[in-house]
Amino acid sequence: MSLNRDIEKLSMLDAKGHKLKIIPAEVTGHFRKYRDWTEAFLVLFFLILPWTKMNGIQTILLDIPSRKFAIFGLVFFAHDGPLLFFLLAILTIGLALLTTLFGRAWCGWACPQTVFIDGVYRRIEILTEGKYFDRRQLDRSPMSLNKFLRGSLKWFLFILVSSIIAHSFIAYFVGAEDLIKMIFADPRLNWWPFILVFSTTGALAFNFGWFREQFCIIMCPYGRFQSVLQDESSVTVAYDVARGEPRKGSADYGQKKGDCVNCFRCVEVCPTGIDIRNGAQMECIACTSCIDACDEIMVKVEKPKGLIRYSSLDGGGVKYLRARVISYTALILIAVMGLSYNIINRSPLEIFILRGKDAPYALNTAADGSLVLMNHMRLHLENQTFKEMNFKIEEPADWAPHGIHLTMPESDIHLPPGHFVMLHFFITAPRELVKGTGKFTTKLDVNGISKIFTIVGPTE
Ligand code: SF4
Ligand code: SF4
């Protein structure tokens, strides 16, 4: 039996390479219902998230100019390389694992490209231009007042919605509170955010309103390499060739009658315009529309549902015990352990006392002729919070009986969020303090945190 493998060109292009306008038919059914709920939740989640706070900080904040980031209450700075590395590793390998198990489930169910096009922009299109057959007719018809008015209203709503999305998107980067202030301020005072919101609105309207699934096929890097993450056991949307072929109307139909009635309903509903009966294709975003469409037909022709269904190339269900599933899971566990270790050991205030880079000690002659020991030390302070910190460094009370003194050019320190400072200080003490051992261990208190260090000198 032969399948029609028309894979010489992309489904979205005509023979000359021009874009074909794809107007998919609406579909109802089991997966459609769950996708409606998922899309509604994800759109609200994306729009509301930047306006929420955890631990008093914006839930997700990616402030690139200030190099400070907040993710669900965790605060990162650009110098927190290991934290960011482990977090990105978990997300990237997690996506690879999901693809290996369930194919392009991310594309069909959770990718913002699919969620916004399917959950928002296509609904605006239905609202302004009608169901798919009306829209197809309108698209073919010459320009008229009706077509112009409907098209104008559609693009007005596209741009309005794009502007709302753009504001929420920018809030992830500049901070929601700052964004509100910028909205009500003179645009000339905030040129860059203003241009960013303006250009993002244009880019979103173009992408979600016109470019659409072409992005998934031509530009999305994940879409390009997802095929190498899948194998014969990956579960994805597939047509059951053994059951469906020979399809009605084909040359072989008669000796054996396949269940496919060749109604093309699965092609009609496909947003990328492909025929899933031609096998796994790069354009398929696993949106499940063809499953619902075909199930609807199967019910009408009184055949079992599932001619198109979630299935693996080898025909089995989800297989968890596979080399690549185990390897990805192990890598994720390692990254989770690395992230947990870094988070547990991360303090909001980093304090180190280091020795000066010059000689470990010096002996100076005091006014009374005695020898005074001097150590040059450095104090590293790092504010790892989003709040300003003030420090007052004072000589500990137990130093006086030993004759130890602190000399520090600045003892009142003000540290902005995410900043660090290296302060030099000098310890002076009687030479006798280290006599015999050559060292004396003590501590310095910084905002209630004690840091132990050693004063060194000659043993004699
Ligand atoms: S083939 Fe089916 S699952 Fe794939 S994009 Fe088309 S309608 Fe969606
Ligand atoms: S919807 Fe089902 S029956 Fe109709 S053409 Fe597609 S696979 Fe065949």
Q: What is the pLDDT of residue 188?
A: 79
394 within domain boundaries: yes
Distance 211 CA to ligand 2 centre (A): 27
The DSSP code sequence of 147-196 is: HHHHHHHHHHHHHHHHHHHHHHHHHHHH-HHHHHHHHHS-GGGSHHHHHH
Tell which one of 237, 248, 308 to mutate to probe ligand 2, the residue whose CB is within 8 A of the most ligand atoms: 308
Helix, coil or strand: residue 441: strand
430 within domain boundaries: yes
369 within domain boundaries: yes
Q: What is the pLDDT of residue 369?
A: 82
Distance 316 CA to ligand 1 centre (A): 20
Strand-strand pairing, 235-239 and 74-77: unpaired
**H or E, element range at 296:** helix 289-300
Distance 290 CA to ligand 1 centre (A): 6
Q: Give yes or no for residue 120 CB within 6 A of ligand 1.
A: no
Instruction: State which ligand 1 atom lies nearest to the alpha carbon of 308.
Output: 2
Q: Which ligand is nearest to the CA of 118?
A: 1
Whichever domain contains 434, its CATH number is 2.60.40
Distance 289 CA to ligand 1 centre (A): 6
Note down the domain range covering 398.
349-456
What are the percentages of helix, strand and coil residues in the chain, rounded to 5? 45, 20, 35
387 within domain boundaries: yes
The DSSP code sequence of 101-127 is: HHTTHHHHHT-HHHHHIIIIIHHHHHH
Distance 273 CA to ligand 1 centre (A): 8
CA distance 297 to 304: 10
CA distance 352 to 374: 20
Q: Give yes or no for residue 201 CB within 6 A of ligand 1.
A: no
Tell which one of 30, 35, 235, 274 to mutate to probe ligand 1, the residue whose CB is within 8 A of the most ligand atoms: 274
Instruction: State which ligand 2 atom lies nearest to the alpha carbon of 308.
Output: 7
pTM score: 0.78
Q: What is the pLDDT of residue 9?
A: 63
Nearest CA to ligand 1 atom 3: 286
Q: Kindly report the backbone phi and psi dihedral angles of residue 159, in degrees, each rounded to the nearest multiple of 5, phi listed first.
A: -70, -40
Q: Which ligand is nearest to the CA of 243?
A: 2
424 within domain boundaries: yes
Instruction: State which ligand 2 atom lies nearest to the alpha carbon of 277.
Output: 7
* Positive/negative CA dihedral, 152, 114, 225, 335: positive
Q: Which ligand is nearest to the CA of 114?
A: 1
Q: What is the pLDDT of residue 1?
A: 40
CA distance 201 to 130: 25
106 within domain boundaries: no
383 within domain boundaries: yes
How many domains does one find in the chain? 1
DSSP letter (8 states) at residue 430:
E
For the chain, which ranges sit under pLDDT 70? 1-11, 316
Q: Give yes or no for residue 270 CB within 6 A of ligand 1.
A: yes
Q: Which ligand is nearest to the CA of 104?
A: 1
361 within domain boundaries: yes
Distance 12 CA to ligand 1 centre (A): 13
Distance 309 CA to ligand 2 centre (A): 12
- What are the pLDDT digits (tens) for 171-219? 998 888 888 888 888 877 878 778 888 999 999 999 999 988 888 888 8
Q: String of b and e for 289-301 (b: at least 16 CB within 10 Å)? A: bbbbbbbbbbeee
